[in-house]
Structure 1
Amino acid sequence: MKKTISNLTIMLFAFALLFQAIPANAQNEGLPSYVKWGRIAMTKTQEKYPDSEITDYLHVGKENKNGKSVEKFKLIVKNQNKEIGVFVNLTFDTRTERLLAVNMTEGRP
């Protein structure tokens, strides 16, 4: 089976190249705080569903509790003709931003 490159994959690659060209101290200026975590959510989803294509992405929200934060995302993953919703919760230390846990659940797209 021939693996196709999606438009989203091409856009992500171009986005990554753009960020390499921006000086490190300017990378976070003007970007929402969840962008970093969204990239991680997409990477973890692609690892779990390697033969699939991520066709949509939504930042659901953020929760802060007891020194920990949870960034929540919903991604739509397509494998052949089937689409599923993948809910990704990334738990991290609020102060250090060290990733503590990645929780994924499947649902409707």
Structure 2
Amino acid sequence: MKKLLIGLFTTFIFGSNVLSPLNFIHTVSAQQKPIPSYAKWGVLAMKKTKERYPNARIMDYLHIGKLSGTPTSTEHFKFWLKEDGKEFGVYVNIEFNNRTEQIINITFRESPK
């Protein structure tokens, strides 16, 4: 009788859609992180970096941070590039109008590390 109750209890718990281990895994993996506010600027920084260094491969990417000002702000990124066996860093700064998000200036600065 005890084995029958344990079997029914196990079937009830894991047989339902609510407490199924597979359902739990699916629910946890389906959760997504919110898109960061700098994402669109990062895409633009990557595009402009590829234009400026067309033969280089982007190895890594880092959002350094945002410098907020009035009336403009600047997003700071660092890319790690590899070209012809040489690896180097490139700092990319994108200055934009806070209200219109129109780009004011994009600067690049190479770094050995």
- Provide the TM-score with structure 2 as the length reference: 0.69
Report the equivalent of 1:48: 52
Per the alignment, residue 78 of structure 2 pairs with 74
Distance 1:33 1:108 in 2: 29
Q: For residues 9-55 of structure 1, what are the alpha-carbon distances to aligned partners after superposition, in whole Å with 9 as ceiling and x for unaligned?
A: xxxxxxxxxxxxxxxxxxxx921010000000000100010011000
- Structure 1: which 4+ aligned runs deviate by more than 6 Å? none
User: Matches of 2:83 and 2:45 in 1, distance apart?
Assistant: 18
Matches within 5 A, 1:14-25: none
Unaligned 5+ runs, structure 1: 1-28
Q: Distance in 1 between matches of 2:60 and 2:98?
A: 27
What is residue 99 of structure 1 aligned with on the other side? 103
Q: For 2:77, what is the secondary structure of its paired residue?
A: strand
Distance 1:62 1:94 in 2: 12
* Secondary structure of 2:42 counterpart: helix
Alignment length, in residue pairs?
81
In the TM superposition, residue 108 of structure 1 has moved relative to its aligned partner by 2.3
Aligned to 1:39: 43
Instruction: Structure 2: give runs of 5+ residues left out of the alignment.
Output: 1-32
Match of 1:61 among 65, 72, 89: 65
Letter in 2 for 1:98: Q
Q: CA RMSD in A?
A: 1.2
Counterpart CA distance in 1 for 2:112 and 2:84 is: 16
Structure number with larger C-alpha Rg: 2
Aligned equivalents of 1:108, 1:88: Cα separation in 2: 14
